[in-house]
Every structure is written in structure tokens, then in C-alpha cells.
Structure 1
Amino acid sequence: MDGRFPALPIMSFFAVASSFSLSVFFPSFLFAHPLLYEPPDVDRPEYTLSLFPISQKLDLSVNMTTDHDANGAPAARVKSSASTIGDHAYPHGHLGHLNPGQEEAFVQFKNVLEERGLLKRGPPASHDDPLLLRYLRARRWVVEDAYQQFKDTEEWRKANDLDVLYNTIDLDAYEQSRRLYPQWTGRRDRRGIPVYVFEVKTLDNKTVHEYEKVGASTTFSQAKADGKTPSGLLRLFALYENLTRFNMPFCTQLHDREHPEVPITLSTNIVDISGVGLKQFWNLKQHMQAASQLATAHYPETLDRIFIIGAPVFFSTVWGWIKRWFDPITVSKIFILGHHEVKTVLEQFIEPRNIPKKYGGELDYTFGQLSIPDPHWDGIVKWENGHKGFPSGPLLWEDIEGDRLACVARGYKGGQPRNERICTIPKTFAPVEAKTNGVNGVSTGTVAHDHDVAEGTQTTRVETHDDGVQTDDALMNDVQEKLKIQDDKPAAAAAAQQTTTA
């Protein structure tokens, strides 16, 4: 065995395949390290697959699809627990649904952040509770690890002026990014989590090259940069900001969903890779790896389910092997659907009216268009200034009149700032008091802001594990440690070392 995966550039691609959310999970696929596969012969349709041994990993056999009847009738609705395992079903680990160990870790995490100058309790708090819990879930409730990731993210945000970037980005630059990457359909799944769609074929090598070239040669915002993060990727992260600062807060306020008491911090993703050849996957490898590494580090735990549609025939074979490297909860989030399964499976998790027609649903949505307002918003969303839907570009929510929120459009057009009210909605979400060993930590519902990162003193490392179950982000670290891949070693040597250390 030579330890190389010619087919796995596909896996690298999924790191950004769902943009905002796959940044959390599919970077795990990045341990299809460039040293573990070789450039394919792109002119030949066949492929080869050789695996190096992975020991001490669970042999997972989670069914990713469910049976459907011979008449193709819509599958019965299933509760959200269908996507997770046992006691770790959604909303386990989210605000208001913490076990005693998680509650203790949450209190300690907030205390550590406050002591080291990274959190201001407020009111208003500098960072809300749902955001803080994302870091704890990502780091398996190990307080010191969550602190380090949070600190790194705050420093990265400050160095790249993420707040300024989002508020001042040129609208044409934003729209160029939006059209290339996953897009919100305007609809949600049965739990109220926003549904994103991505047609991979639009992101070819020529398009990405032009995108990065334009980003490097033009000034698209008033933000400073650290000189390390490629400007093209900084434009991409304006879309992540839109997810966390506009879409998630909006979906949180909509109560026609399961567990309306839980703030929305996830996304559901339909990734269509039909019509995409291995050459395209390979050409995008470097771009996707760079984007996914940054997204994993700085936008943790924003992924829930991903539905992969249009995969080549060999994909299920590859997935059948690599899924053994992930824990059952991770595997249960991924659905690789054959053509005959798409409609049936999607309808289990998303109402037919919210599934694009292309995938067997009723929504007249085409990839590239703006989000389509949901009729269920009628009477809730009050449009202003002639708007009948959400426009492209940065959007933020601001408190007005005490009991309402206003959606405000930002960004620059023709060198002039945009500051226009799009709509208002009632403030219906009542922040949950997270009872943590007798100490109440109130979720303020505010948006996280950058602030100075103070040098903190050393504190005792607190390790509060969640029953040993790995989260998506934490798994990546385990795999890299297991493989012990070093960039200065050839593939065969890396594989040999893995064999001896596994």
C-alpha cells in the first residue's frame, strides 16, 4: 500500500462546500492530506484507491438514509434526533440544554474569559452565550482548549478588522463572493435551521483564479489586514459574518420550529456536486484547504446536516472507508444521496415547500438568486423602503423601540456607504437563563464584538469532557495527531510512520 488517495481531493473540497457551516465539519476531511494522495490522470475516467491502515478507530456502520416505499411516497417526518446519536441529540449541548458537567464548564469558561480580559459581562455582554457555547462544543468542553481557540479568533478578527470589513465591504465584491459560494434559499428545515444550497460546478479553477486575482488587486473594504490571510478569503468570510450576524439571529426569532427556546447556531446544507469532474476537485484543492482551515479555527460549530447530491459512482466507496475515522454523531450528520433517494430523504428533514424543485420539492429556487421570502413570515416581517425580500450584502439587526428588531443593510456602493432599513420584526426570543450550578448566566442575544485582547495570567486547566464523544472540530486534531503527518516527509514515509504509531 502506498498510502495515497487519488480520489480524495473531493473530500478537501467539501471543507468549503457548505461555506459557513462545513467549515466546522468537513475540514475533518482535510486529513486527506496532500501527501496522502497523488495528482490524478485527469484524462482517464477510472481511478484507483489504496488505503493505509487506520487502527484503533470505530467501525462505524451508521445508515445515512432511510427506507422508502415502492411507490416513492414522501417519507414520514422524523424528529431532529434522527440526525444524532442517543443522549447527544439536538439540542443537547445548546443553551438551556446543558448537563451538569457542561454547565460547570460553561461557568468556568466565562470566568476564565472575563479574568483574561476577553469577555465583558455587560449588560450588554460583549459576546452572547450561544456564541461562547460553540467554542466549548468544538473543544469537547475542555475549558482551556476553548479559551485558546476563542483567544486566537479574537486576535485574528482584530488583526483583520472583521467588523469593519463586514460594514464597509464593496457590494459588488460581496455579490461576487455570494454567487460563488453556498447561498441561503430563504427557507429553513423542520427545526428552523437555515437551509443553504451549493452547486459546486460554478466554482471552477478559472473562476477561483479570477476571484482571487481581483481580490488581491483591489481595495474592497476599509478594513486593515494582517497580511497573512489572502484577501480573497477575507471576502469569503464576509459571508460567514452574514450567517452569524444576520441569518442565525433572524431564524432565532422565528418560533415556528422545534425547540423554539433554543437559539439557532447551525446551518443545514445541500451540496450538489453533479457535473463536477475529478480535475475540477483537484484544481480547487489548495483554495479549499486554506479556506477550511481558517473557517474551522474561527467559525466553530455552525454545521448541522449536510446532504451530498450528485456524487460520482466511486464516492460512496470512498466514503464507506473514511467514515470509519469519524465518531457516530459526525457520521449521522452526513447523507450521501443517490438520485432515487434525494426527495425521500430531504423530506424527512425539510418540508417539501422549502426544498428546491430541482431536488424534488416545491420551492421555485435557482442557485444564484437571492433568498425567497417564506410566506410564513407574513405578519411577522414588516418590510420597509419598498423592499419585499432581503437584498444582497451585509445585513445586521439593531434593537429599536424596545420590543422590535430592525434589519439594516450596510456596505458600500460606488464609494458611498449604505445604511438602509430593510424591515423590522418583533423581538420574540426570550433569552434563556443558563443555570450553572446555582449561578445564572443570562444570554443577552447581543452580537459578538471585537475588543482588545488582554494578556491574562495562567489559570488551572479545567477538563470537563462530554462523555468522551468527539465533536467535528475536535476530531480533526485527533486525526492529525494519529497520522502524524509532516510536510517534509514523502507519502510513503508518512504512511509507514502512521502504521507504526496507530
Structure 2
Amino acid sequence: MTKHSHSESSMHRVPSSGAVEHGYPSGHLGHLTEHEEQALVEFKTLLEEKGLYQPGNLPSHDDPTLLRFLRARKFVPEDAYVQFSETEKFRKANQIDVLYDTIDIDSYEASRKLYPRFTGRRDKRGIPIYVFQIRHLDSHAVSKYEKSTETTYSRAKTDGKTPAKLLRLFALYENLTRFVQPLSSECTDRPHPETPITLSTNIVDISHVSLRMFWNLKAHMQAASQLATAHYPETLDRIFIIGAPMFFSTVWGWIKRWFDPVTVSKIFILQDHDVLPVLTSFMHLKDIPKNYGGELEWDFFDEPAWDDEVERVCQWENGHTAFPPGPLYWQPIDEGKRLECIAVGSKGESDRRERVCTITRAYPPKSTEDTLVSTTDSQTADTLEGEETFVTPTEKPIINGEVSTANIAALSISESN
């Protein structure tokens, strides 16, 4: 495998727009440029004119969600509208809200075992950490899972175009955007605690996976990746791939075509001796599973190992002392000053809907004028806090030697200093 020089690997990544892209929290609430503020206003106006957005104290879509679509389309409101409207059509055609509300809890939990799992921990910026161990997607597990999707597992009706096995995946993305990210946003033990979390950090373990297994999973993973990119844009911060076999350069040739160049730039493939140094530049040792050199007692099939901050912010109700299995989401109450966690899903013919806990919000939503930051203040703050360095795109996977530990560490922003 050809390796690139240090000088090449340390260059800034320049996206196709020609502008140098900065990392979180740039482009997020409280860290918008004047241009980005104006784009958000125009985007809301456009969506309202098209009947896709209702403003108010509790708007139909919150600003963090709208900003995900704007970031995905480089803050061009018209382009963001196209993607947003397609997503709304898809959600309506497949009744995604009904799917999440009524999915069989056992079916939901079975899906969780085949996709990235939340560890219950967050990285140094407060972004939730997921682990995905590909080796569990063997032919037997996948066949059993696909067979289970042939039976009714929710009350949602579909457009018949999207396979049921992929629709169940969308329930997990709903959990990310409606439960894990809002919960992470309410944890204030992080830099920029007033800025909502809309991203995820992923450790993808591909050890003990054969080329045949990758080939068998190719179509499914490609479809899943493309649908997620289309309908849940800008929910990914980093992917750290570990345990890569010698043949992975072949697999990388497939994978890189599934994503746009900016997404590819977020994928880092690490050799064994680089795993811990790189991960600790983004995560505290206590939040890294022991399997990867950290201190966290957590294995892939374990439930989330919640940290002390989650326990601090949650006020349990109705006899709950922990989050139950199955789908959960947060919704605002008391004019947005608090959030309540609702457990949904179904068991047999019975739907579940009960309050699990509440959170008093540290930073209740304000008006757009109050939450958006001026160009000067935002750019000055980002400069003082440090900017993120991006690596030049390559046709080869980014491995040790192409991106050194020091260069990866430079990718982390101020909170890792």
C-alpha cells in the first residue's frame, strides 16, 4: 500500500466548495457566521412558505435539526430545502414516527445488536460514542434478522420501496436524534454546553471479518449508508476503523464511493499500536472500552454504561431508576423549560407510553435573535478556541504513516488541549 508523505498528510482539507471547513462547533448554534445566520433565517422562511415548517415557541422542527440540513448543503437554503423536502416525503410515506412509536420492543432490541451501539459515554466535546463490531453480522445473524422483518413489527405503513430490514434501522437513527443526542445536549460537563449536540463519534471494529463476509454485506451496508446520509445528514463526526485486515484496501474501494468527500474525510483507519493514542486525543481514558485500551467496563452487547453526568441531570419518575429497553425520546414540556423522556414501543397488542424521567434544561431555547451569534463574535471565539485541521483526501485509506498520531491529535479542537 502506498504511503503518503508527512507534508501531504498534514495539509488542510478543502471541501468541494473551495472553503476550508472547520470542525465542531462551527456551523452549530452559537457559532454561526453572519452568512450562516442569514441562511438559517432564509431556510425557515422557505420551509414555512412550502408548508414544511411551523414557527413558534415550540416549532415543528428545532434549529439544530434545520442546521444539519444546511451544513450538509453548505448553507445554501435552496439545496437544503431539496434534501429536507425529500426526507419529509420519505418520513411521511413510511410513517417513521408511527414506526418508532409502535415498533415491537423485542424487534427493536434485535436490531440494536446488528448496528452501532451506544456506550453511554461521550467524547471530550460531549459527542456520544458508539461502537460497531462488524463480526457479529455473520450470515446466520443477518438471515435470522431479515426473516424477522418479514412479519409485522410495527403499525407503520410503508411505500413498499424501502426494504423492511432498512426501515427497522431507521428506528435506531430516531433513537440517536431523538434520545441520545438530546440527552447529550443536556449534559453540561463539556465545552460549549449551550450548543446542542447533533453528532456521533463511532469506533468501528472490523477485526475477525473475512473478505467474503464484507462482500456478503456490501449491498446491505451500501443501501443503509446512502439512506442514512440522505435522511439523517450531519449526524456523524468521526469514524475510527480498527482491526483492519490486509485486504481492507479492496473494501475501502467500495466504501469510499458510498459517501461524499467530506464524509470520507471523517473516516480514519488505525493500526493496532495507534488505536489508544488516537482515541485518547478525542476521548478520556475512562470513556474508552477496555477492549480498545481504555478503562470502561463495557462490551458490545452490554447496555449503555451511563456516566455520572447523566445520572445528575435525570430526575426519575414512575418507579424508574434507569432507562428501560426499547425506543425512547425526549419532548419539551413547561414551554420548553424542561424535557420529559417517554418510553414507547409495543408488546404484543399493547402500546407502551410512559414517562421515565424529566430534565430541567440548563439552556432553554430562546428566540432566533438571542441564540444566533454575530460573525465577529463567532469567528473570534472559534479562532481563540482552536480550529480543526483536515487531512488531504487520498484514494487510499488513511492509516498509520499516512496520518501520524500527532496529526490525528491535531484534529481535536480546544477541549483536548
Structure 1: gaps spanning 5 or more residues: 1-48, 51-58, 65-84, 444-471, 476-502
Tell me which of 143, 154, 158 is aligned to 1:209. Answer: 143
One-letter amino acid matched to 2:143 = H
Question: Could you tell me whether the CA contact under 8 Å between 2:29 and 2:371 is conserved in 1?
Answer: no
Which of residues 134, 140, 152 in structure 2 aligns to 1:200?
Answer: 134
Aligned to 1:391: 324
Q: Which residue of 1 aligns with 2:345?
A: 411
User: Does residue 146 in structure 1 map to residue 80 in structure 2?
Assistant: yes
- Report the equivalent of 2:380: none
* Residues 97-106 or 232-241, more deviating: 97-106
Provide the alpha-carbon RMSD of the alignment.
3.1
1:96–1:433 CA contact under 8 A, matched in 2: no
In 2 relative to 1, CA 163–317 (structure 1 residues): closer, same or farther, beyond 3 Å? Answer: closer
Superposition pairs for residues 24-423 of structure 1, below 5 Å?
61-62=8-9, 88-216=22-150, 218-315=151-248, 330=263, 333-400=266-333, 403-423=337-357
Cα 1:327–1:245 change in 2 (3 A) is closer
How far apart in 2 are the matches of 1:165 and 1:87? 36
Is contact 1:431–1:442 with CA below 8 Å preserved after alignment?
A: no
What residue number does 1:6 align with? none
Superposed displacement of residue 319, structure 1:
5.9
CA distance in 2, matches of 1:237, 1:372: 23
Q: Is the 8 A contact 2:68 2:234 kept in 1?
A: yes
Q: Structure 1 residue 346: deviation in Å?
A: 0.8
Structure 2 counterpart SS, 1:371: coil
| Shift in CA distance, 327/419, structure 1 to aligned 2, threshold 3 Å | closer
In the alignment, the residues of structure 2 paired with residue 192 and residue 434 of structure 1 have an alpha-carbon distance, to the nearest angstrom, of: 23
d(CA) in 2 for partners of 1:345, 1:400: 40
Q: Is the 8 A contact 1:261 1:430 kept in 2?
A: no
CA distance in 2, matches of 1:110, 1:414: 41
Q: Structure 1 residue 88: deviation in Å? A: 1.4
Over the matched positions of the two proteins, sequence identity in percent amounts to: 60
CA distance in 2 between partners of 1:331 and 1:222 (Å) = 36
- Provide the TM-score with structure 1 as the length reference: 0.67
1:196-221 CA-to-partner distances (Å, cap 9, x unmatched) read 001000112332222122212x1111
What is the one-letter code of the residue matched to 1:311? A
- The Cα of 1:333 is off from its aligned counterpart by 2.6
> Per-residue CA shift, 1:160-200, capped at 9, x if unaligned?
11111100000011011011111101100011110000100
Counterpart contact for 2:222–2:255, Cα < 8 Å? no
- Which has the greater radius of gyration? 1
Q: Could you tell me how far 1:381 is from its partner in structure 2?
A: 1.9
Indicate the SS of the match to 1:249: helix
State the 1:87 CA deviation. 6.2
Gapped regions of structure 2 (runs ≥ 5):
12-18, 374-389, 394-417
Match of 2:396 in 1: none
| Shift in Å, 1:316 | 6.0
Q: Is contact 1:406-1:421 (8 Å) kept?
A: yes
Q: Is the 8 A contact 2:222 2:258 kept in 1?
A: no
Q: Deviations over 1:74-123 (max 9, x none)?
A: xxxxxxxxxxx966132111112111222222221111111111111123
Closer/same/farther in 2, CA of residues 285 and 397 from structure 1, 3 Å limit: same
Q: How far 1:312 moved relative to its partner? A: 0.9
Q: How many residues align?
A: 364
| Equivalent residue number for residue 16 of structure 1 | none
Show CA shifts across 1:456-500 (max 9, x none).
xxxxxxxxxxxxxxxx9xx9xxxxxxxxxxxxxxxxxxxxxxxxx
Distance 2:248 2:105 in 1: 37
Q: What's the secondary structure of 2:228's corresponding residue?
A: helix
